[in-house]
């Protein structure tokens, strides 16, 4: 297609959008609603990811050692566990540190503190807190520890117990929740995407219907299908871009206000901060979605008028 033809198509599409008046405004409004739904899904996905990550970071497996275990032997076990590919981090808590934390947690419970003082020593064990990359990996980590028990320099096992059995139900439920959330989230995104395309298609089809006589005349004088489609595709692209800019402008005051009000509800997730730090990402998604939806809806909507 020659540049003169391309320029003519672009000009015709722009004029068609302007001349559309109320129909163009209605199409932009529907597309704005569609892109608003897409932006809401972006924030919902980010919130779910943040929540699941926060929960995963709070679930771990603790390995407790006998009171006679030396710090050197425990740190050797820590290094071994740290090298496992399933492990994100391993933190060490000494018996003394565990005692200090225990006293802090029960600072107002004088009966418990009195009983602890009467023991005359430190009854708490040193421990390792193991954080896995995925909750489903804890079973393999525990199996590794049970199959290869940690030994001291004297050859005796220094592991007293592993709290995986107590946390197993919680870990399994978390794994199921993560998988279910991913599946449901994908289904919701797909459902809204289909609904958005249908809504945009119906609205743009209405706009094209008002130009059916013009299309018929162009066909009579021998205009190619590509030349006839061109202005309507440009019209759809302009509609998508306009709607994307409107959504981006409306999002800023909305997420700023929502960020102040809801940060404490979502465990520290701030919608405003997310929007500011991911603006380029959101801009590209909305702009691309607007262009693709507008152009595809125009192509499908005009096809019925191009049939011989």
pLDDT for 20: 63
Task: Indicate whether 164 belongs to any domain.
Answer: no
Strand partners, 64: 127, 161
Averaged pLDDT, 76-104: 85
Whether residues 101 and 204 share a domain: the answer is: no
Task: Indicate whether 169 belongs to any domain.
Answer: no
**Number of separate domains in the chain:** 2
Whether residues 194 and 287 share a domain: the answer is: yes
State how far the Cα of 162 lies from the Cα of 150, in Å rounded to an integer: 12
Task: Indicate whether 62 belongs to any domain.
Answer: no
| Range picked from 122-131, 179-188, 203-212 for highest mean pLDDT | 122-131
Averaged pLDDT, 177-182: 70
> Which residue from 239, 261, 257 is spatially nearest to 14, judged by alpha carbons?
239
State how far the Cα of 293 lies from the Cα of 197, in Å rounded to an integer: 6
| Range picked from 6-15, 62-71, 107-116, 119-128 for highest mean pLDDT | 62-71
Whether residues 191 and 292 share a domain: the answer is: yes
pLDDT at 308 over 60: no
Q: What is the CATH number of the domain that holds 96?
A: 3.30.70.3040
pLDDT digits (tens, 9 = 90+) for 250-295: 988 888 877 766 666 666 677 888 888 888 999 999 999 888 888 8
Would you say 127 and 64 are in contact if contact means Cβ atoms under 8 Å apart?
A: yes
Whether residues 146 and 265 share a domain: the answer is: no
pLDDT digits (tens, 9 = 90+) for 184-225: 767 776 776 677 667 767 766 776 676 677 777 777 777 676
Q: What is the 3-state secondary structure (H, E, C) of the chain?
A: CCHHHHHHHHHHHHHHHHHCCHHHHHHHHHHHHHHHHHHHHHHHHHHHHHHHHHHHHHCCEEEEECCCCCHHHHHHHHHHHHCCCCEEEEEEECHHHHHHHHHHHCCCCHHHHHHHHHHCCCCCCCEEEEEECCHHHHHHHHHHHHHCCCECCCCCECEEEECHHHHHHHHHHHHHHHHHHHHHHHHHHHHHHHHHHHHHHHHHHHHHHCCHHHHHHHHHCCCCHHHHHHHHHHHHHHHHHHHHHHHHHHHHHHHHHHHHHHCCCCCCCCHHHHHHHCHHHHHHHHHHHHHHHHHHHHHHHHHHHHCC
Lowest mean pLDDT among 20-24, 47-51, 77-81, 98-102: 20-24
Whether residues 48 and 71 share a domain: the answer is: no
Whether residues 149 and 178 share a domain: the answer is: no
Calculate the alpha carbon distances from 307 to 134, 154, 184, 302 in Å: 54, 88, 40, 9
Residue that finishes a domain, picked among 102, 127, 157: 157
Whether residues 126 and 196 share a domain: the answer is: no
pLDDT at 307 over 60: yes
Task: Indicate whether 272 belongs to any domain.
Answer: yes
Mean predicted lDDT score pLDDT of the chain = 77
Task: Indicate whether 163 belongs to any domain.
Answer: no
Lowest mean pLDDT among 74-83, 116-125, 292-301: 116-125
Whether residues 302 and 200 share a domain: the answer is: yes
Lowest mean pLDDT among 86-90, 195-199, 238-242: 195-199
Whether residues 79 and 201 share a domain: the answer is: no
Residue that finishes a domain, picked among 93, 124, 157: 157
Would you say 253 and 300 are in contact if contact means Cβ atoms under 8 Å apart?
A: no
Domain that holds residue 126: 67-157
Burial (Cβ within 10 Å: 0-12, 13-18, ≥19) of residue 12:
middle
Whether residues 87 and 231 share a domain: the answer is: no
Whether residues 263 and 226 share a domain: the answer is: yes
Whether residues 95 and 198 share a domain: the answer is: no
Task: Indicate whether 294 belongs to any domain.
Answer: yes
Is the full-model pTM beyond 0.75? Answer: no
Would you say 301 and 201 are in contact if contact means Cβ atoms under 8 Å apart?
A: yes
């Amino acid at each position: 297609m020659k540049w003169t033809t391309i320029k003519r198509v672009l000009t015709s599409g722009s004029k068609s959008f302007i001349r559309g008046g109320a129909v163009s405004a209605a199409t932009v409004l529907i597309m704005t609603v569609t892109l608003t739904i897409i932006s809401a899904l972006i924030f919902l996905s980010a919130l779910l990811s943040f929540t699941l990550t926060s929960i995963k970071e709070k679930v771990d497996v603790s390995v407790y050692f006998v009171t006679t275990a030396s710090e050197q032997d425990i740190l050797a076990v820590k290094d071994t566990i740290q090298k496992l590919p399933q492990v994100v981090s391993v933190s060490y808590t000494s018996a003394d540190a565990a005692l200090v934390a225990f006293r802090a947690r029960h600072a107002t419970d004088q009966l418990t503190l009195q009983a602890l003082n009467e023991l005359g020593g430190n009854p708490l064990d040193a421990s390792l807190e193991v954080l896995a990359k995925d909750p489903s990996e804890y079973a393999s980590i525990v199996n590794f520890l049970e199959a290869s028990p940690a030994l001291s320099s004297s050859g005796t096992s220094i592991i007293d117990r592993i709290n995986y059995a107590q946390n197993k139900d919680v870990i399994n439920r978390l794994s199921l929740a993560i998988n279910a959330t991913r599946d449901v989230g994908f289904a919701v995104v797909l459902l809204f995407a289909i609904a958005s395309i249908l809504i945009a298609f119906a609205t743009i089809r209405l706009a094209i219907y008002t130009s059916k006589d013009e299309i018929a005349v162009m066909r009579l004088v021998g205009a190619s299908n590509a030349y006839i489609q061109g202005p309507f595709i440009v019209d759809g692209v302009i509609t998508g871009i306009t709607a994307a800019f409107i959504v981006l402008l409306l999002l800023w005051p909305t997420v700023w206000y929502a960020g102040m009000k809801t940060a404490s509800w979502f465990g520290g997730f701030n919608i405003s901060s997310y929007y500011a730090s991911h603006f380029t990402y959101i801009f590209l998604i909305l702009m691309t979605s607007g262009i693709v939806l507008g152009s595809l809806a125009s192509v499908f909507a005009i096809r019925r008028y191009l049939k011989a």
